[in-house]
């Protein structure tokens, strides 16, 4: 994989969960709470790591065989816990503030591109004092619309009025990389999040890094 960027990207798009922050505890406990409401007991939170990254509707349907109606109810239960506690059971990755500071000094436009609802994303960015770094925050709607990563990236390109060669997408799951590829946007896969290296490499990112430090070095 390339170890330096081959062009200046004016717009840098970041996934949130597993890329900017480590949300494992909050997300898995929110899922655990929702599944409990359906009589499904999961005591090992590691079993719920697959929920980190994809849209919740997709995960409840694919991983637990929920109908669309049950998945929607599960999401409502999930949000009961998440709004009260889960969003704060979260950790900022070490070195992330330094990376964001570097990118702003380079006069890049920073964007959050996430499947998480925009309203929760904005609260999390504020909680971690990251909101001042980002020019645009684009997530899904509470009703689940605009949760596909390709759709989110398309929306950003259209509303920022930029070509796809001006942007780069940074993410830790295949959904980030595939979404970027669908829109003709270069992608940086990060191996410190929740996607395995095999998952990420199979989705064909242009760049791959193992750590926040390696990600920082790409932009020097």
Name the residues annotated as catalytic: 15
Closest alpha carbon to 17 in 98, 108, 89? 89
CA distance 189 to 18: 11
Q: How does DSSP classify residue 93?
A: P
Q: 26 near 88, Cβ under 8 Å?
A: yes
Give, in order, the Cα–Cα distances in Å from 181 to each of 4, 36, 114, 146: 19, 37, 16, 17
Q: Which residue is associated with the tokens 């849209």?
A: 55
């Amino acid at each position: 994989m390339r170890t330096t960027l081959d062009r200046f990207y004016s717009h840098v798009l970041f996934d949130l969960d597993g890329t900017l922050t480590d949300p494992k505890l909050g997300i898995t406990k929110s899922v655990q709470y929702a599944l409990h409401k359906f009589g499904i007991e999961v005591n090992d939170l590691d079993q719920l790591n697959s929920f980190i990254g994809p849209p919740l509707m997709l995960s409840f349907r694919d991983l637990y065989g929920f109908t669309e109606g049950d998945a929607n109810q599960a999401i409502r239960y999930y949000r009961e816990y998440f709004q009260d506690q889960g969003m704060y059971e979260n950790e900022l990755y070490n070195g992330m503030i330094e990376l964001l500071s570097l990118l702003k000094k380079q006069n890049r436009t920073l964007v959050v591109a996430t499947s998480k609802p925009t309203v929760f994303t904005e609260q999390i960015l504020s909680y971690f004092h990251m909101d001042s770094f980002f020019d645009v925050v684009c997530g899904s709607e509470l009703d689940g619309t605009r949760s596909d990563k390709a759709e989110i990236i398309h929306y950003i390109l259209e509303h920022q009025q930029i070509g796809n060669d001006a942007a780069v997408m940074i993410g830790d799951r295949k959904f980030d990389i595939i979404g970027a590829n669908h829109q003709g946007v270069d992608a940086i896969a990060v191996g410190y999040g929740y996607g395995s290296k095999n998952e990420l490499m199979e989705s064909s990112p242009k760049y791959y890094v193992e750590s926040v430090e390696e990600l920082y070095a790409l932009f020097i």
